[in-house]
Amino acid sequence: MRRFLAICLALGMTIPAWAGIEYHFKEGAICDPQSGFCADHMGVSVGLTKLYLGEKAERKLMAEIGKVGSENFDPTIFTMRGGLTCSTQEKQCWTSKARDKPYKKATHTLFGK
């Protein structure tokens, strides 16, 4: 399994949900402990990341934002490990970056649709 995941990541492929990716659905938020961040209807959230994943995850997220620069960081569109991609402007989530299949549970969690 570990080799399979490494190959998927190396090839830029979406890791299927059955491969051990676990999202945490909270009221109005989705967290991905493996990616180390949480998001709500406004996008990636430092506050929710700290609340649900802890201070270490918050610091790591802030460091990542610092790497790209806050002026270049767009929290309104994000992809979690496994491919879950959401756009707050479109108020929609998909199962992959290709945006070919809507992810109803994620969309409902974040946007109430």
- Residues 57-75 pLDDT 10s: 999 999 999 999 989 999 9
Find the helix or strand (DSSP H, E) in which 26 lies.
Answer: strand 24-26
Strands of 37-40's sheet, edge to edge? Answer: 24-26, 29-32, 37-40, 43-45
Q: The whole model's pTM is what?
A: 0.78
Which of left, alpha, beta for 23 (phi over 0: left; psi -120 to 50: alpha)? beta
The pLDDT value given to residue 1 = 44
**pLDDT level of residue 113 (50, 70, 90 thresholds):** confident
Helix 46-53 with 55-68: angle, nearest 10 deg: 150
Statement: residue 15 has pLDDT above 90: no
Statement: residue 12 has pLDDT above 80: no
How far apart are the C-alpha atoms of 91 and 65, rounded to whole Å? 23
Statement: residue 108 has pLDDT above 50: yes
Domain presence at residue 88: yes
Tell me the residue range of the domain where 71 lies. Answer: 23-111
What is the mean predicted confidence (pLDDT) over 12-39?
A: 77
Domain presence at residue 73: yes
Domain presence at residue 7: no
Statement: residue 6 has pLDDT above 50: no
The pLDDT value given to residue 23 = 86
- 87 burial (CB, 10 Å; 0-12 / 13-18 / 19+) is middle
The amino acid present at 66, given as its one-letter code, is G
Domain presence at residue 13: no
As a residue count, the chain comes to 113
CA angle (95 as vertex; 24, 7 as ends), nearest 5: 90
Domain presence at residue 51: yes
The pLDDT value given to residue 46 = 97
Q: What is the count of structural domains for the chain?
A: 1
